[in-house]
Each structure stands twice: as C-alpha cells, then as structure tokens.
Amino acid sequence: MKPLVVVTRNIPQAALRLLRDHFRLDHHDRPTPLPRRDLLRRLRRAEGLLCLLSERVDAELFDAAPRLRMVATFSAGLDHIDLPEAERRGILVSHTPGVLAETCADYTWALLLAGARRVVEGDRLVRAGRFRGWDPLLLLGADVHGKTLGLVGFGRIGQAVARRAAGFRMTVLYCSPHPAPRAVERRLGAVRVPLAELLRRSDFVTLHAALSPETRYLIDARRLALMKRTAFLINGARGPIVDERALLRALRRKRLAGAALDVYETEPRLTPGLRGLPNVVLSPHLASASLETRAAMGRLAADSLVEYLIFGRRPGNAVHARPHSS
C-alpha cells in the first residue's frame, strides 16, 4: 500500500499531482489552518507530513504520529519545527530554501520602496477621491538612490537584496555572525560591520535573519534608538525578531521615519495601534508569493517526500538540528 502523507493546506496543483502519484493523501484543501486536534488525529497513520510555517511541529505532534518518518515544510524558515526533537526520533525534516531567495529579495525592495516613497498612502488618497492634482508638497518621501542599506542577516536572501542595491548606487553594510566569503563581499560591494554600527549608519535596515533564540527581539527599544530618525525598518524575515511594541512607540514618537512589515510578532494578529499608523506599510506575509516561486516551493517539498519515503534517498534540502540562515 502507498504510504500516507498529510498535507495541511491548499498548495499548488503540480505538487499535489506529484504527491498523488506516489502517496495516499489526507489533504486539508482549505485556505485556513487545520485545528490542532484534527491535525494530530489525521497524523495517526501518516508516514509523511507536508506542513506550513503555521503548524507547530513538536514533541506533542510527534507523539501523535508514531509512524511519521518525514516532515517537509513548505517554507524556508524552520522556526516552527523542533529540529533536535525530530532528529532524536529519527524523523527527517526538509525545507524549501534557495528557490525563494530572489522572489523574497524582489519583495524586500517592494516594501522598501513602498515605505520610502509612500506608495500605499498615495493609493489610499487616490481611492478616497482626495487627489486634487499635482502638488509640490504632496506625500513627500525619502530618496532611496545613493543612500545606505543595512542588511541584518546575509544568507541567500540578504545577498540577493544587496545585489539589487547596486542599481540604486547604495552603500551596502551587513551584519552576520559569520563573514561572507571575500569574493561575495567584493562582488556585492558589501562591508561587514557590528549591528550597532549598521543601525547607526543605515538609511534602510532590512532584516533577513532566521528566527532563533539569538535573534528573538534582536531589534528592541535600545537598538531602535540607535537608528537615524530618518531611517526605515523593513522586516520580511520573522515577526518576533522585532519587539513590535517598541517599534510602535518609535514610530509614534517619530523616532523612526517608517517601517514596512511583511511578518508580525504574533502573526496573523497585529499589535494594537499598528494598523492606525500612516508611516508603516503592512503586508500579509507575501515575500515568496509569486506564482513561479510558490509552484517551485511546492514541487521541492513534494519531491523531497518522494525522494525519501519512496526511494530512501536523503534529499539535498534535508536539514540537521541546527539553525539555518535564510
């Protein structure tokens, strides 16, 4: 009999076709998450799980799934998975890095430009019928070209963002626990500096670190206070990297010019007050949301399940119990 795989959400069709060729599927074909209890019940006989970043994959889940051999997450991020626990139980975990880096980098720039040039405010104004014609003082934003970009995290996505900065003739700073190879620094014109220096010097700070105990609240009130009053913070990584209440206070007091957020501390809930601020762009976790990339993520997740559960081969995107860089 074909192995049983639980799929927790509606995902691109190509991935489902591939999965159906090899597995029996228990598919929650909905746009909303499976209630926890249902998920645990469905996993009783499953050998594979294709999940999203909204599912907590931990000891309780593994206890409910005695036959589980592999978890393939439809995400690059792994912060929702207890990797040491999976490893201890001999359950393989795979994720979908690489295929989304360029798309996430594109979106980081969309957020950055939207924040700096007040695109969303402009859209609202026009829709509200308040556009009265060209006005020399209407919605003045900040120039992007020639400014300093600070990247916190310099994995695949951070580097792809840096590459795009050349077109804007920007100075590029990055901070990361490990230096990038010299050749990469040279090619991207990127200089590694400590976080405090990056925050002091940058006009745009973009976050690309994985969420881990070390990066939780990495950007707190003290660090926000180091940033220029004219600077913007862009978070397309994970919400809890930023202390959202501290950010809210900083934005209210104009300690910062603005922010653009694709992720939230207690996603999908927003910190009360954030919604009412004009100087923040709010986006519903869309960084990897292009047709091509979501299809590629689905294929990669499905392929890894087939590789391991059908052919017994460890896929290249399987992970060990250690944090990754995005």
Chain positions 24 to 53 lying near ligand DGY, rule: CB under 6 A, are 53
- Contact between 288 and ligand DGY by CB under 6 A: the answer reads yes
Distance CA 75, CA 80 (A): 10
Catalytic residue among 118, 238, 294, 299: 238
User: Would you give the binding string for ligand DGY spanning residues 86-125, x where CB under 6 A is met?
Assistant: --------------x-------------------------
Chain positions 50 to 69 lying near ligand DGY, rule: CB under 6 A, are 53
CB atoms within 10 A of CB 320: 9
> Shortest Cβ distance from residue 287 to ligand DGY (Å)?
5
Question: Residue 259: which H helix or E strand, with range?
Answer: strand 258-261
Distance CA 183, CA 294 (A): 31
- Contact between 75 and ligand DGY by CB under 6 A: the answer reads yes
> Shortest Cβ distance from residue 241 to ligand DGY (Å)?
12
Distance CA 89, CA 117 (A): 50
* 87 carries an active-site annotation: no
Q: Is 150 exposed, middle or buried (0-12, 13-18, 19+ CB in 10 A)?
A: buried
CB atoms within 10 A of CB 174: 25
> Shortest Cβ distance from residue 114 to ligand DGY (Å)?
17
Amino acid found at 204: F
* 265 carries an active-site annotation: no
Cis check: omega of the bond before 284, within 30 degrees of 0: no
- Contact between 287 and ligand DGY by CB under 6 A: the answer reads yes
Nearer to ligand DGY, 25 or 287 (CB): 287
Distance CA 196, CA 26 (A): 48
Question: Residue 171: which H helix or E strand, with range?
Answer: strand 171-175
Nearer to ligand DGY, 6 or 100 (CB): 100
Instruction: By CB under 6 A, name the one of 25, 76, 170, 281 that touches ligand DGY.
Output: 76
- Contact between 77 and ligand DGY by CB under 6 A: the answer reads yes
Select the span of 12-20, 72-80, 195-203, 247-255 touching ligand DGY (CB under 6 A).
72-80
Distance CA 274, CA 288 (A): 23
* 285 carries an active-site annotation: yes
- Contact between 160 and ligand DGY by CB under 6 A: the answer reads no
Q: How far is CA 242 from each of CA 201, 247, 259, 278, rounded to the nearest angstrom?
A: 19, 7, 11, 19
- Residues that bind ligand DGY in the complex, under the rule CB under 6 A: 53, 75-77, 100, 287-288
Query: Which residues does the annotation mark as catalytic?
Result: 238, 267, 285
